Amino acid sequence: MKILVAVKRVADPDNLNKIKLSAQGKIDATGLEPKASPYDDYALETALRLTENGANTKARLGEVVVVTFGPKESEQMLRAMLGTGADRAIRVDATDDALDGDLVARGLKTVVEKEKPDLVLLGYQQAENESNEVAQLLAEYLGWPQATFAGSIRSEDDKALVVGREVEGATAQVRVTLPAVVSVLDKIVHPKSVQSKHTAPTHTYADGVRFAALMAIMAAKKKPLAEMKLADVAADATLKVKYGAAELPPKRAAGVKVKDVKELVTKLKTEAKVI
């Protein structure tokens, strides 16, 4: 199976409470370490699990191509992903200001038509903008089925996937015939969440994503990383959505510490009046 994984570099998702506003009222994440959006790391882990035997992960049994839309600096993230196990990488040169979800989806469509993957995997949303839209837009533009909020994936002979979609207290199971677009939640990297035809059902993965071995990081420097221009993948770069000024949400002030349970109940009753 050939899988295209769309990824995005973002500001450190664990420190987003440190973002500021610039003098122009725009969001300023200066000082936060750039990282891959965590759900994209989960998408890559999913792709690797689908293209290997979990008992012998050194032998690749399919192809995983990572693609990003970003500036030159994003290549560091792509190299890291090549070290983790991706086979090839593509960077479409663009800055965030020149993109919206719709343009990314239209650009990805061109990349898909060129690469002809069986499956496109994405994180269900990227950690900065949190739009949760590119997978659905891309599926529509390609005329492919979509399965969003994937918490589990079982491959049926790489012809179809049974996807467990986590939808508010319930799991909707759907079977999508490939090629398809799937976006994943964090649950997808649990030990048994991905069942591939190459791996025995009894196999248990370590919880979470894998890390690159030093040798693999060295070897990744030789893996192919192609660069494309935005104009190569999207003839029309018009944005459908434009962001203006931002606000910081009002800070919740720390309240009071109560000394015991009795005082807590009294405060809830007489001060907050919520019980």
Residues 135-164 touching another protein, rule: CB under 8 A, are: 136-137, 139-141, 143-149, 151, 162
Minimum CB distance to another protein, residue 159 (Å)? 11
Is residue 172 within 8 A of residue 137, CB to CB? The reply is no
Measured at the CA of 54, the angle between CA 7 and CA 75, to 5 degrees, comes to: 25
> What is the DSSP secondary-structure string of 50-93?
HTEETTEEEEE-SEEEEEEEE-GGGHHHHHHHHHHT-SEEEEEE
- Establish if 211 lies at the interface with another protein (CB under 8 A): no
Specify the residue, 58 or 262, whose C-beta has the smaller distance to another protein. Answer: 262
Measured at the CA of 178, the angle between CA 173 and CA 183, to 5 degrees, comes to: 55
- Establish if 201 lies at the interface with another protein (CB under 8 A): no
Minimum CB distance to another protein, residue 128 (Å)? 6
Minimum CB distance to another protein, residue 70 (Å)? 17
In the list 23, 59, 215, 248, the residue contacting another protein (rule: CB under 8 A) is 248
Cα 252 from Cα 25, distance rounded (Å): 21
Cα 219 from Cα 198, distance rounded (Å): 24
In the list 55, 167, 206, 226, the residue contacting another protein (rule: CB under 8 A) is 167
- Establish if 171 lies at the interface with another protein (CB under 8 A): yes
Residue 39, token pair as written in the block: 């759900």
DSSP for residue 156: E
Minimum CB distance to another protein, residue 214 (Å)? 28
Q: How far apart are the two ends of the chain, measured CA to CA in Å?
A: 56
Write out the binding residues for another protein, residues 76-115 only, by CB under 8 A. 100-102, 105
Which stretch, 57-65, 87-95, 225-233, 246-254, contacts another protein (CB under 8 A)?
246-254
Residue 30, token pair as written in the block: 């200066």
Which stretch, 49-57, 60-68, 114-122, 124-132, contacts another protein (CB under 8 A)?
124-132
Residue 210 burial (10 A CB sphere; 0-12, 13-18, 19+): middle
Which stretch, 46-54, 72-80, 220-228, 234-242, contacts another protein (CB under 8 A)?
234-242
Minimum CB distance to another protein, residue 230 (Å)? 18
- Establish if 69 lies at the interface with another protein (CB under 8 A): no
In the list 55, 172, 213, 218, the residue contacting another protein (rule: CB under 8 A) is 172
